[in-house]
Structure 1
Amino acid sequence: MSEGNDRLYELARAATVHLLPARGDGAPLWGSGFFVAPGWVLTAAHVLRPHLAAGPRTVFRVRGEGVDAEARLEQWLLTDPRRQAVPLEEDLALVRLAGEPEEQQHECVWLADRAVSHSGALKVCGYYPGPSETYFRIVDAEINGHEDRHGLIIKPDIDLPSGVSGGPLLDPETGAVVGLVKSRRKQQDGGKAVAISALRRFGRTYRTVVAAHDRWHGGEPQSPTGDNWIDLQGGPPAGAGEQWTPTDRRDALRLLAELPPPPDAPTVELLAKRARSHNTWPGGTPELLTWRDGTGLLYEGARPLEALTFLRYLRFVELYTAARGGDATALGRWIGTRLRREPRRAFHDLVRDVSLPEALRPAPDAVPERIVIPYPGPGEGATVAVLLDPVIGARPARFFWQIWYDDGHGEPELHEVDGSVHGHDPAGLVQALRGPLGRLLRAKDQEGRPVPLEVALPVEHFDTAVHRWRFDDIAELNDAGHLGVRRRVVLRALERRGDPDKVWAERWQAMADQRRFSGWRTPGQGDFPGARGYRDAACDLIPVMCRPAGRDPGRTAMRLALEGGHGVALWHVDGHSSRVCPESCDILYAKAEELLQTLGSLAELPDRIRHVRQEISELRADRAWAEPMALLYDDPRRPLPSEEGGTLDAPL
């Protein structure tokens, strides 16, 4: 064991703590944790759950070298604290020490900017109970496999002592903490761990914590020995101008922590791609919540790309921030100073002369408050689709889900598939989709342009009020929260997956050429057009129904409309099923006609509907008519992926 590693392990020991009851003298420890920023401890959620499930604000103690303080749970990823088993990617909790962070003197681990899952040798750190006191221990271990998005498998010949759950996994090679211990294996050696990349699932709290982490590491060493994590990471020396050094990384991340955060993940992704001269990184794209996360894309394996690539990215961030009124002067000065150390003078213009991509330049001040964003056709932008397949034979109805992403320039990609055995009832779909769908939407949303969401269902389930779905239990006061207010949400016919038929494609093309539209009350008062009536209807007419589409006569009307090639329709998901309309239906049709008269193209309709839903959330009484209205917007030019694997049957 080298002297450098010994010193690194001492830093890890100083940052590792154990958790126990508030009056903890003689009480058994709950588990381990570690400081990631001043006053912030990361641990496993299952360590706290038995003690805090009934009272999450309960005070407990955090102890370690030079630390003995009261603390509370700040946030955990548990969706259901009462569930017996804690899912791997939910097994994280952030703990906050009592008092002000600047008053708290303790060591903090170093968290890498890359989100790549670790493989190979590492050290497991944590506390375990002895006969009369609690002891710290470092154990040799090795990661030899991965599970799901954030799971790490510790090989079986490792004996993890009781109490280390929640403790850090230290990579001696890079000098960074790469995960935390989840569990030992039952009746055998080895165990599981959660990759530190799962920390990004804390969202805005993650932004707060990593900014505090980077500021702390960017200052003077606070260890009693004078050591710091950066100096013990190895890598090229500080004077290596062509290479990106640990010191460069530390300084750059500290400066990025002082900037306003990026507005969305696509902005970070686009600037990282431009910095890499449009060369993509290996593997998938992780969640991108901070400018720091963008630097983590500028690696090949564990090796950072050359310094010029990082400086180009930082220059893009500087320009983006300054263009929106932010103060990036300190970052700009540092880029200039660091660039002078780069010996290849001919390449300096690769940094100095960069300019923001057209898509990221600020909009003119004269832009109207609410722009109507056309729905993307082929090659015009991305969409996310959720396909809900009914479980055959299930009563009441249950669904299996698939999530697809279509960037508009090729074939849709399957993003995630339902792993349940029995599917989900309609009430449970939101909970089941909250994690996987929420992550994808956050990753693809652009500032002011949330990615559209398409939900494909069989016709008999068209009254599923997807636009009312809500993914956030707690929202900001100015956040309406419902999907249909935030983004364009449309329904599609699951039966139409695969290649479109000629009638559907031809009607769509004819409608796309129109510039004025009218509502078609169908079925009307005593008037039920047959199959020919739907097929021969003028292409500027959009079917509008005051009835639900899942019950007759609305169900028959919707099926005839689909068979007649109609790709657009509006209907009342809570409407009446009687053949005689009440007086309120006249108001609905008149209001729908007013809305359709505002269209300049078919592609404007989904966002026009979203505007109305937004105005409903702002308590505009004259918009209440549209709250129960669902929208079919089924573009045959971007067909749903064809069915694979046959029908899904209910398990016995």
Structure 2
Amino acid sequence: MRRSVVRISAPGAGQDDEDARFWGSGFFIAPGWVLTCAHVVGNGGGDVLEGGAAFDVTAFDAGTRRERTRPGRVVLALPPPRPGGAPAGRWPLPDLALVEVEDAADAECLWLSDRSAVVPAPVALYGWSRETGELGWRYGTGTATGGDAGGGAMLLRGEIPVAGCSGGPVLDTGRGAVIGVSKGRGEGTAGLAVPVTALRAIANERPGRALLHTVVRAHDRYHLQRYRSFGAGGWPGLQRPRAAGGFTPVLRAQLFARLAELTQPDGPGQVMTLVDEVKSRVLQDPYQPGVEHDPRTWREGVGLLYDLRDGAADVPERPDGPPRDLELEAVLLYAARVAAAVSGLGHAADRRPLSGLADWLIIQADQLRDGVRKDIHRLLHGGSDGFAEPDRRPVGDKVSLDKVRFGPVETEEDAGRARADVLVEIDPLMYGDLYPWRIKLLGENNRVTPLCDDTRGVPRAGLREALREPIAEALRQSDVGEHLAALQVVLPRELFDEPVASWRLTPPGAGDDVFDPHALPLGQRRVVVVRDRRRRDRPAFPEWHTRWRGTDRGPMTAVPLRGEVPVPGHDARRRESRHAAYARFVDTDPSAVPVYCGPVSQGPGAMALEAALAAGHAVVIWRCCTGEHDDCEEFHEQASRLVCEATTAEGLHRRLRSLRIRCADPESPDEDARWAQSIALLMDSPEDPTLSPPPLTAPGPRPGQGI
């Protein structure tokens, strides 16, 4: 540990232990890369935080066997520096900084945990401090006891080191892996750390994604090379396997170094799709994750697959049969799925590392039971049912890959779709003018995973900004390659005209000058639909089911939401009553879709929409703009044509997305699509159990269960 942990100081202070310019601690995670806290390097001011000025990084030098000071420079700080480089006041989380250190290729590096932080865990903390007088090496022991709901903080208890150790590593002593970075000390024995998983946040943007993959690749290459050179002197050799067999530290180092050479995933959705499939296959019972994870590299997916049964590696397959090594089955099957997914990209740079990974997988798979072993060979042969499985050989024998044919595997789980849809639920006003909200993932088999919420709420004017980053995070976890998740927004009716399809995932002003798909309004890239919050409070009624099935089956027809529209326009003298509108909607065909050129959250539009929803209509199209316009008749004509051409409710999505793009240019919008400006779609299925409140049951045994 002492050879890997560094002290960080102002320029020229690194060699002087008594100099008051000592800032804090850090540690090498890869040759030439140090991880520390942003507030540590923030002692140097804005120029240091922005990477403009260097500082001293002092560490043990393996060559001279003495301490050596090298210049370091901040490459990335989280959160990013404020405009002008001014340091943050209280250093909000995640409070991390990546530092590039010159001429440090021979640095000794610590092992970063590949798993999401698991607490409670016994930990040790290391760093430098001058609180006792002399600047010296300090360490302490304790327990990681918990964290916050967002996974951005780790709570510590025990003999927490003194000031100056901020930026040093928090080591899980049970696994020999760094799980956090020391941030500060509280009262008594309390402390605060940042989980190393917070580094994932740098991958939210493409430059940061490349940086994360560069550092992780260097980390995993280092540890495999170290093991090959020093054997028991490297990290894998120093670890004691937690059980016989299983996914041992040596196998971990070998696999991670191979995965690091591959093209990395675009987002967590790709990783979690493979993780979900493997868990369902290996566990062979309904798989329901208790928490949603956010992996950004292939290695993090592995970290979610071993210790499947709370650390018990051997689980009997049947009472009279041999034990199953669940860890190894899950990890190797996942690695084979990664190989198939990456090979499907067709990148020339992946051919050689894929070949090496397949060689390793074929050897390791010989240890597994027949079912999973055959799955792995089938994956490596492009999903062919007629592949010839190589003869089983002792582990360690070389396998020829001449007949291995890589290719994506088409399975029922891989049928070209996003991992989940994203559900945003906004409740009616509860505390003055505040709207509470929740975000969930809607997966297959009615699987619902809560992500985040604000039970107190925000004013209507603050909804867009409050939901921007949570929605972006949920979409990152749901998108899989080119398959983008749909966004379903459940709204109280007074918010139906909120232009959610025009919301952007970038901060205000960002991305306006660049035609970047990630900066486009949501409705121009993906499916965005509104759903009715009020109907969720009661069981679905028969008319709602009938009309949903009608639009799902088609062919659809259009009816005006208001009876006097479109010919007279909005200022018509005759105004349809609520009961007359309801009677008209009851008599329409089950596949009819009401359309309206105007807002529906208040006024005549709201009254007509209330009647349509009471009659069971599940698909409605309207124009949520409130500005003046004189093309109401054209809107209804074009919207009616849109409905008829779409045929079914699902057929509306691609056409609506195209219309939103065509009329989006403020300087020269497509004249043929101008009528569709501010168009909104309600698509509200009554058959979706994920939104229905669970039925209340009396305490005690369920029917059919004994006491």
Normalising by structure 1, we get a TM-score of 0.81
> Aligned pair in 2 of structure 1 residues 359, 14: CA closer, same or farther (>3 Å)?
farther
Contact 2:343 2:354 in 1 (8 A): no
Which residue is 2:526 aligned to?
487
Counterparts of 1:231 and 1:625, CA distance in 2: 68
Counterparts of 1:224 and 1:215, CA distance in 2: 14
Q: Does 1:573 align with 2:624?
A: yes
Q: Secondary structure at the match of 2:142?
A: strand
Query: Deviation of residue 177 (structure 1)?
Result: 0.5
Contact 1:77 1:202 in 2 (8 A): no
> Aligned pair in 2 of structure 1 residues 281, 539: CA closer, same or farther (>3 Å)?
closer
Question: Please, which of 298, 323, 332 is the counterpart of residue 344 of structure 2?
Answer: 323
Which residue is 2:2 aligned to?
13
Question: Please, which of 452, 458, 461 is the counterpart of residue 424 of structure 1?
Answer: 458
Query: Deviation of residue 599 (structure 1)?
Result: 0.4
Contact 2:138 2:161 in 1 (8 A): no
Amino acid at match of 2:110: V
Query: Deviation of residue 250 (structure 1)?
Result: 1.2
Which residue is 1:200 aligned to?
200
> Aligned pair in 2 of structure 1 residues 502, 593: CA closer, same or farther (>3 Å)?
same
Aligned pairs for 1:71-82 within 5 A: 71-77=73-79
Counterparts of 1:341 and 1:631, CA distance in 2: 52
Contact 1:403 1:416 in 2 (8 A): yes
Which residue is 1:152 aligned to?
154
Which residue is 1:632 aligned to?
682
Which residue is 2:615 aligned to?
564
Alignment identity in percent? 27
Contact 1:405 1:412 in 2 (8 A): yes
Query: Deviation of residue 419 (structure 1)?
Result: 4.8
Which residue is 1:336 aligned to?
359
Which residue is 1:310 aligned to?
331
Counterparts of 1:554 and 1:411, CA distance in 2: 35
> Aligned pair in 2 of structure 1 residues 324, 362: CA closer, same or farther (>3 Å)?
farther
Q: Does 1:95 align with 2:118?
A: no
Deviations 1:82-111 (A, max 9, x none): 875555xx3232323266xx8644232211
Q: Which of the pair has the greater relative contact order for Cα pairs under 8 Å at 6+ separation? A: 1
Q: Secondary structure at the match of 2:22?
A: coil
Question: Please, which of 221, 224, 232 is the counterpart of residue 215 of structure 1?
Answer: 221
Q: Does 1:61 align with 2:55?
A: yes
Which residue is 2:397 aligned to?
none
Aligned pairs for 1:201-600 within 5 A: 201-203=201-203, 204=209, 205-220=211-226, 227-235=233-241, 243-276=246-279, 277-279=281-283, 280=287, 283-300=290-307, 301=310, 305-326=326-347, 327-337=350-360, 339-340=362-363, 344=367, 347=370, 348-354=373-379, 355=383, 356-358=409-411, 382-392=420-430, 394=432, 397-410=433-446, 412-420=448-456, 423-473=457-507, 477-481=515-519, 482-498=521-537, 499-518=539-558, 520=560, 522=562, 524=565, 525=569, 526=572, 528-529=575-576, 530-576=581-627, 582-600=629-647
Contact 1:119 1:144 in 2 (8 A): yes
Contact 2:57 2:101 in 1 (8 A): no
Deviations 1:395-428 (A, max 9, x none): xx321112233325237454433154xx212333
Give unmatched runs, 5+ long, in structure 2: 60-67, 204-208, 314-325, 384-408, 696-707
Moved more, 62-71 or 339-348: 339-348
Q: Secondary structure at the match of 1:231?
A: helix
Give unmatched runs, 5+ long, in structure 1: 1-11, 364-372, 646-652
Q: Secondary structure at the match of 2:543?
A: helix
Which residue is 1:137 aligned to?
138
> Aligned pair in 2 of structure 1 residues 153, 504: CA closer, same or farther (>3 Å)?
same
Which residue is 1:168 aligned to?
169
Counterparts of 2:582 and 2:300, CA distance in 1: 55
Deviations 1:98-126 (A, max 9, x none): 66xx8644232211222242433221012
Amino acid at match of 1:261: Q
Amino acid at match of 1:152: M
Q: Secondary structure at the match of 2:625?
A: coil
Q: Secondary structure at the match of 1:314?
A: helix
Counterparts of 1:223 and 1:169, CA distance in 2: 26
Counterparts of 1:136 and 1:275, CA distance in 2: 44
Which residue is 2:126 aligned to?
125
Q: Secondary structure at the match of 2:599?
A: coil
Counterparts of 2:644 and 2:529, CA distance in 1: 20
Counterparts of 1:317 and 1:258, CA distance in 2: 12
> Aligned pair in 2 of structure 1 residues 32, 573: CA closer, same or farther (>3 Å)?
farther
> Aligned pair in 2 of structure 1 residues 56, 63: CA closer, same or farther (>3 Å)?
closer
> Aligned pair in 2 of structure 1 residues 612, 566: CA closer, same or farther (>3 Å)?
same
Counterparts of 2:97 and 2:553, CA distance in 1: 54
Which residue is 1:183 aligned to?
184
Query: Deviation of residue 496 (structure 1)?
Result: 0.9
Counterparts of 1:584 and 1:52, CA distance in 2: 57
Counterparts of 2:226 and 2:690, CA distance in 1: 56
Query: Deviation of residue 598 (structure 1)?
Result: 2.7
Moved more, 77-86 or 524-533: 77-86
Counterparts of 1:133 and 1:191, CA distance in 2: 23
Contact 1:15 1:64 in 2 (8 A): no
Deviations 1:531-567 (A, max 9, x none): 3223333444422222222332322232232223222
> Aligned pair in 2 of structure 1 residues 273, 552: CA closer, same or farther (>3 Å)?
closer
Moved more, 304-313 or 616-625: 616-625
Contact 1:281 1:298 in 2 (8 A): no
Contact 1:178 1:196 in 2 (8 A): yes
Deviations 1:164-198 (A, max 9, x none): 12211112332210111122113x22212222222
Counterparts of 1:462 and 1:345, CA distance in 2: 55
Amino acid at match of 2:146: G
Q: Secondary structure at the match of 1:602?
A: coil
Contact 1:114 1:293 in 2 (8 A): yes
The size of the alignment, in residue pairs, is: 602
Amino acid at match of 2:6: V
> Aligned pair in 2 of structure 1 residues 251, 495: CA closer, same or farther (>3 Å)?
same
> Aligned pair in 2 of structure 1 residues 384, 518: CA closer, same or farther (>3 Å)?
same
Query: Deviation of residue 243 (structure 1)?
Result: 4.2
Which residue is 1:41 aligned to?
34
Which residue is 2:319 aligned to?
none
Query: Deviation of residue 73 (structure 1)?
Result: 4.6
Contact 1:454 1:491 in 2 (8 A): yes
> Aligned pair in 2 of structure 1 residues 270, 403: CA closer, same or farther (>3 Å)?
closer
Counterparts of 1:224 and 1:409, CA distance in 2: 49
Q: Secondary structure at the match of 1:30?
A: strand
Contact 2:53 2:73 in 1 (8 A): yes
Counterparts of 2:365 and 2:337, CA distance in 1: 18
Moved more, 319-328 or 520-529: 520-529
Moved more, 21-30 or 436-445: 21-30
